[in-house]
Amino acid sequence: TKSAASELVITLEPTGVYHEALMYFLHEQGFKIILANPGKAKKYADALNIIHKTDKSDATMLAHYGCAKHAVVNYWQPEALEIRELKA
């Protein structure tokens, strides 16, 4: 069965400004987004005994992190358009 976007949680780590366009796109599609604090995500990876940092291990760790945190975290919300325009 297919799940609606609003039923899925996407967990991202910030990557400078490169993650922002993806987050706005996913939010517009209806996904719930967790923007993980990189320091906390690293401690979570350490707790899972993930030693070697690869794209695959990062993706797995972020999926587990999002699953563990989704009930107690505030989902990411975009700033008002006016604020984004002023920052740009």
pTM: 0.81
Q: What is the three-state SS of the chain?
A: CCCCHHHCEEEECCCCCCCHHHHHHHHHHCCEEEECCHHHHHHHHHHCCCCCCCHHHHHHHHHHHHHHHCCCCCCCCCCCHHHHHHHC
- Number of residues written out for the chain: 88
pLDDT, tens only, 2-58: 889 999 999 999 988 889 899 999 999 999 999 999 999 889 999 988 888 888 989
